Amino acid sequence: MTGIEDARERRVRTGGVDLCVLELGDSSAPTVVLVHGYPDSKEVWAEVATRLAHRFHVVLYDVRGHGRSTAPKPLRGGFTLAKLTDDFLAVVDAVSPDRPVHLVGHDWGSVQSWEFVTVRRTEGRIASFTSMSGPSLDHFGHWIDARVKRPTPRRVGQLLGQGARSWYVYLLHTPAVPELAWRGPLGRSWPKLLQRAERLPAGDYPTASLRSDAAHGAWLYRDNVRPRLRHPREDAYAHAPVQLITPLGDAFLSERLYDDLERWAPRLTRRTLPDKHWIPRTRPDQVSAWIEEFVLAVEEDPEREPRRSDAHAQRFGGQLVLVTGAGSGIGRATALAFAEAGARVVAVDRDGAAAARTAELVRLAGAADAWAETADVSDEQTMEKLAEKVHRAYGVLDVLVNNAGVGLSGSFFTTTPEDWRRVLDVNLWGVIHGCRLFGARMAERGQGGHIVNVASAAAYQPSRALPAYSTSKAAVLMLSECLRAELADRRIGVSAICPGFVNTNITSTARFTGVDEAEQRRRQQRSARLYGMRNYPPEKVASAILDAVARNRAVVPVTPEARGLRALSRWAPRVARRLARVEPKL
Known catalytic residues are 469
The bridge status of strand 31-35 relative to strand 57-61 is parallel
Q: What angle do CA 158, 163, 164 make, to 5 degrees?
A: 100
Among candidate residues 406, 345, 395, the one with its CA nearest the CA of residue 370: 345
CA pseudo-torsion sign 50, 550, 157, 141: positive
- Taking each helix axis from N to C terminus, what angle separates 352-365 and 329-340, rounded to the nearest 10 degrees? 30
Q: What is the DSSP string of 97-111?
A: SSS-EEEEEETHHHH
Burial (Cβ within 10 Å: 0-12, 13-18, ≥19) of residue 85: middle
Torsion region of 305: left, alpha or beta (phi above 0 gives left; psi -120 to 50 gives alpha) = beta
The radius of gyration of the chain's CA atoms, rounded to the nearest angstrom, is 27
Among candidate residues 464, 478, 540, 536, the one with its CA nearest the CA of residue 507: 536
**How many angstroms separate the CA atoms of 407 and 424, rounded?**
10
Q: What are phi and psi of 468, to 5 degrees?
A: -75, -45
User: In whole angstroms, how far apart are CA 366 and each of 165, 345, 369, 403?
Assistant: 38, 10, 8, 22
Beta strands in 379-439 (DSSP E): 399-402, 408-409
Among candidate residues 166, 79, 164, 66, the one with its CA nearest the CA of residue 115: 79
- Return the biggest CA–CA distance within the chain: 92
Stretch (H or E) spanning 363: helix 352-365
Distance of CA 468 to the CA centre of its chain: 36
